[in-house]
Amino acid sequence: MAKQLQSYRSIIGDKAVETILDKSRHLSGKRILHVNSTRSGGGVAEILQQLVALMQSLGIDAEWRILAGKEPFFKVTKKIHNSLQGQAGTLSDWEKEIYHQTNSYYADFSPINHDIVIIHDPQPLPQVHLHEKTQPWIWRCHIDLTRPNPDFWEHLRPFVAEYDRMIVSTPEYRKADVDVEQHVFQPAIDPLSDKNRELSGRQITSLFQKYQIPRDKPLITQVSRFDPWKDPRGVLEVYKKVKATCDARMLFCFNSADDDPEGVRVYEEMCHLAADEIASGDVLFVRGDDPLLVNALQRESSVILQKSKREGFGLTVSEAMWKGTPVVASRVGGIPLQIKDGVSGYLVGPQDIDAAANRVTTLLSHPKKAGIIGRNAKERVREHFLITRLLSDYIDLFTEVLESKQYQPTGTRATALAGMVINAL
């Protein structure tokens, strides 16, 4: 069934729904293009799946395109992603060429005549150079930009400067060295998607049976791609400490994304590190490709862990909070915006295995406390991190950019760019 804003009335109230309907009316028929680099896996794809449908339900002609590169491209863009989050290293000339060539080929086959273009993350960032820019362009950066590797940032900065607006998830991610108006708004979850909608006890039971997940012990779960930033090794360490005093099972719910080629390596590493616990059935690795299963796991787990070392926002945190499940998470990136420590979850230092284990143990052994924290968590998400709020933020921004500037065709920028890219190599 098509998504309809009306269906959110019971969750956010009539007034909030009417406000969105009123302020979006003038956008009816406007052509809005979102571009990212994967259809599934990861938070950006998760958001776009829901957000584009909601925009369409308002009469906005919203479109979602994927820059579908091959593995060498995604190896380079994962390196760029990691370096923007602070990892050391440099980009070789060959890697720069792969990045720019793939963008260039994509631009040739992806004509743009929309009213607004939103480019998500660094993979398609150079697109702004490769098209006649006759409309506002927005760069939506979902990653933690507080301490980027300077070489990489310097390489990307001229592209960022071409945009009319930039959106980041926390005030700390704003960049003082680009002359682009920067907006701060957080990602959000869709309470009516299969990932987050209510499930009955019977549905949960049948999902656990279908995927053969035992329910004889309390579950501690981390829902994440196998990515070093999500620190699966640290999660295992935390679990081992918890297990010394509490009998619980650790479940790693994982999936993969086309634009993240590191998953297989980290998965194999983890199979090796957790071999004993996997053999004894204490640790489970479960593929989370079915959103209903992820939903059931986030509802049924006693504690959700999100022990990331860096986290642009961390949708998984809001997803679990919405289900009233207490979360223990690292105090990094966008996570402290979601969790108020001790009130709507627990925050720990990203390296602090002991603190994480203590918090998990407390929640396992004090169900009443866990219940209060879970209820607070749900209300926090209702207030700040539902997709209707994100939709509203986009509508305000679209209204502003369409009113603020007249876009005139500027000639064939693509030709000029070809020269720029070659010079940059």
User: Which spans in 25-92 are helix H?
Assistant: 43-57, 71-84
Distances (CA, A) of 298 to 174, 225, 317, 354: 32, 15, 10, 23
Find the shortest distance in angstroms from Cβ 103 to ligand UDP: 21
Amino acid at 420: M
Residue closer to ligand UDP by CB (options 32, 143) is 143
Contact 166, 138 (CB under 8 A): yes
Residue closer to ligand UDP by CB (options 72, 291) is 291
Q: Which helix (H) or strand (E) holds 416?
A: helix 413-424
Find the shortest distance in angstroms from Cβ 412 to ligand UDP: 36
Residue closer to ligand UDP by CB (options 44, 242) is 44
Find the shortest distance in angstroms from Cβ 295 to ligand UDP: 9
- List residues bridging with 287 in a β-sheet: 254
Rounded to whole angstroms, the Cα distance separating 50 from 46 reads 7
What residue is closest to ligand UDP based on CB? Answer: 288
Q: What does DSSP assign to residue 27?
A: G
Residue closer to ligand UDP by CB (options 238, 293) is 293
Find the shortest distance in angstroms from Cβ 404 to ligand UDP: 30
Residue closer to ligand UDP by CB (options 316, 376) is 316
Q: What residue ranges bind ligand UDP (CB under 6 A)?
A: 42-43, 46, 195, 223-225, 253-255, 288, 291, 294, 313-316, 319
Q: Is 15 helix (H, G, I), strand (E, B) or coil?
A: helix
Residue closer to ligand UDP by CB (options 112, 328) is 328
Contact 143, 312 (CB under 8 A): yes
Rounded to whole angstroms, the Cα distance separating 257 from 202 reads 30
Residue closer to ligand UDP by CB (options 180, 253) is 253
**What is the DSSP annotation of 110-162?**
-----SEEEEESSTTGGGGGSS---S-EEEE--S--SS--HHHHHHHHHHHHT
Find the shortest distance in angstroms from Cβ 314 to ligand UDP: 5
Find the shortest distance in angstroms from Cβ 366 to ligand UDP: 26
Rounded to whole angstroms, the Cα distance separating 390 from 186 reads 7
Rounded to whole angstroms, the Cα distance separating 400 from 416 reads 29
Find the shortest distance in angstroms from Cβ 284 to ligand UDP: 12
